Structure 1
Amino acid sequence: MRFSQKIGKTSFRDSIQIDSIDEKLENRLWNTILLNFFDEIGVDINHKVNRDSDIEKTLQVIWQDFFGNPVDEIPKNIQSDISARKFMGYIKEWFFRSQWYEKYDFLEFLSKLDLQYFELSFTEECNNSLKSEMSAYRLVDGDIVQITSEEEIIEIEEALVNSSIWEPVNTHLKTAITYFSNRENPDYRNSVKEAISAVESVCKIIVGNNNTTLAPALKIIEVKHKIHRALRSAFTSIYGFASDAGGIRHSLLLDDIEVSMEDAKFILVSCSAFINYLKVKIEK
């Protein structure tokens, strides 16, 4: 974990790659393209591309349909066969100077080729790379889909600002973000624990009882500040999830489910939104 993350100076927005691709993700995606697409379909820079082969047809499709280049300008050797070495050199040069969104366009294009003709593990390996490097995008059925929205990020950022008046709440929330956004070793289980602990802390502060727990505190808040019963029930259920799933608040059991990134993100966004909601309610 980097020092900036430990002291809360790296924001959630900075941790999630939305409008950019950093060098580490760029390199990882290139390796995935090379190893899990071109190597898998049999492209070898040390050998010629046989005419009328599936490899030749695939390279021609990429050259014409993705890059929009003239077919008679495709890189060839002295025997007039497609040169795999020159072709891959062209793609690599383009990839590393292309814009971040153009790289995603290329992933989409290759994923659709894979799904239609090859059925490799390319899409799965791309998503593993995207997930590991905290990209806000995934490949779903050949399309790039954003899985972290601007609205979700704003909700978390507002919660950090709103909770700054309550040190325990703010600490739990920052810790939840740190666990979630650690690219080297994300800890989704403890991110969920810290996020729900942030909600529990703010509820304890609102009711003025540090010895209570979330469920009874929410019942008091429901009556005193007129929050809807369904909201109280929803967060009581989330507390139950945090107590049961994956051994989050207790030791792990054999039949516990693994807490995924999607689980942790949902809890983090939901808890942030609820903290923002409670602050508005108690100020009325």
Structure 2
Amino acid sequence: MTLFSERNGYKSVQDTLKVECMDIDLRTSLWNVILIHVLDGTEPDDDYYQCYDEIKTLITKLFRVYWKRSLDELTEYTFFPFRAIKSYFFDCKWCEVYDFLEILVKIYPFPNVEEFTNECNDVLEMEHSGYRFVDISIMEITSEEEIIEIEEALNDAPNPVKIHLQKSLGLLSDRESPDYSNSIKESISAVESVCKQITGESLSLGQSLNKIEKNGIIDLHPSLKNGFKSIYGYTSDSDGIRHGLTDEPNLSYEDAKFMLVACSAFVNYLNAKWNK
């Protein structure tokens, strides 16, 4: 379900795609992966001596190499490893959550570390984080430059174009039922809409680009024009009607995000050239 703030552009692109931030839903979902794969069988009231050997080793290494705390705290009967880990996880900065996940992968003896990282990636995708595990390191998949392109298009584009981009972002970021095919359609519709504004005619994207080039409205490089005509063909049938994506089973978050970024960048490019 896309919420009011996302539909109407009141929530920033950075917050929507969760870059340099982390909401409680994402943090809790990642914590649940840790509960299943690391802390299963460990109780909140277990002191250090009651914990499994794996948890003793983990908490000792965390004290020595990550938290840099005194090891004699571990022997106190008022110290509870489960509570210490949970308290840190929910109180630390957003970036330290990702640090902690990387540390876990490197120091905890997972029977199958790939299973843990895959489940983390499932959560990161479901909650629309801008980061993923790549091997045993967490990498950014949504750059600041991409966010700037989307935000510039949302801020500067005419209303019909902006509406298409807002819909695309909303469909992409819907946590309960993301609609990648329609997000892609809205992204390409934004480009089509800005071309209609430039030509003053209700033409398909391919026809608009041809007219823009032929009439010298904008000096478009042929490769750039043909590239976007090909993208338009990917989203449309021979009549220019976007039915082609409806039955596409393999569309992903990455596909829809690429189209949103690429179309936002092209909208910005066309606007800049047109307004010169």
Q: TM-score, normalized by length of structure 1?
A: 0.83
What letter is aligned with 2:149? E
> What is the deviation of 1:276?
0.6
Structure 2 SS opposite 1:209: coil
The one of 126, 130, 141 equivalent to 1:132 is 126
Residues 114-136 of structure 1, C-alpha deviations (whole Å, 9 max, x = no match): 6x753241111111222222222
Alignment check: 8 A CA contact 2:181 2:246 kept: no
Distance across 2 between alignment mates of 1:117 and 1:274: 45
Instruction: Report the 3-state secondary structure (helix = DSSP H, G, I; strand = E; otherwise coil) of the residue aligned with 2:90.
Output: helix
Does 2:98 match 1:97?
no
Rounded to whole Å, the distance in 2 between the matches of 1:76 and 1:158 is 55
Partner residue of 2:176 out of 165, 172, 184: 184
Report the 3-state secondary structure (helix = DSSP H, G, I; strand = E; otherwise coil) of the residue aligned with 1:138. strand
1:63 offset after TM fit, Å? 3.1
Unaligned runs of 5+ in 2: none
Tell me, in whole angstroms, the C-alpha distance in 2 between the residues paired with 1:93 and 1:202.
50
Q: How many Å apart are 1:109 and its aligned residue? A: 0.8
How far is the alpha carbon of 1:208 from its aligned partner? Answer: 2.3
SS at match of 1:38: coil
How far off is 1:271 after superposition?
0.3
Partner of 1:80: none
Out of 207, 212, 217, which is 1:216 matched to? 207
Task: State whether structure 2 residue 39 is matched by structure 1 residue 38.
Answer: yes
Q: CA deviation at 1:194?
A: 0.2
Please tell me whether the aligned partners of residues 189 and 248 of structure 1 are also in contact (alpha carbons under 8 angstroms). no
| Change in 2 beyond 3 A, CA 1:37/1:221 | farther
Question: Relative to 1, partners in 2 of residues 1:58 and 1:268: Cα closer, same or farther, differing over 3 Å?
Answer: same
Q: Paired residue for 1:235, among 228, 252, 265?
A: 228
Give ranges in structure 1 of 5+ residues lacking alignment: 78-82
CA RMSD of aligned residues (A): 2.5
The structural deviation recorded for 1:178 is: 1.2
1:200-259 CA distance string (max 9 Å, x none): 11112222221x211122122233121111111111111122237xx9634744xx3421
Partner of 1:172: 164
Does the Cα contact within 8 Å between 2:20 and 2:94 map onto a contact in 1?
Answer: yes
Matches within 5 A, 1:1-284: 1-39=2-40, 43=42, 48-49=50-51, 53-75=53-75, 86-113=80-107, 118-120=111-113, 121-164=115-158, 167-210=159-202, 212-223=203-214, 224=216, 225-243=218-236, 249-250=243-244, 252-253=246-247, 256-284=248-276
Moved over 6 A (4+): none
CA contact (8 A) 2:234 2:244 kept: no
CA deviation after TM superposition for structure 1 residue 195, in Å: 0.4
Please state how far the C-alpha of 1:262 moved relative to its aligned partner.
0.6
1:237–1:140: structure 2 CA closer, same or farther, 3 Å change rule? same
TM-score (norm 2): 0.86
- Does the C-alpha gap of structure 1 residues 140 and 248 become closer, same or farther in structure 2, counting only changes over 3 Å? farther
Secondary structure of residue in 2 paired with 1:216: helix
Letter in 2 for 1:87: P
Q: Which amino acid aligns with 1:191?
A: S
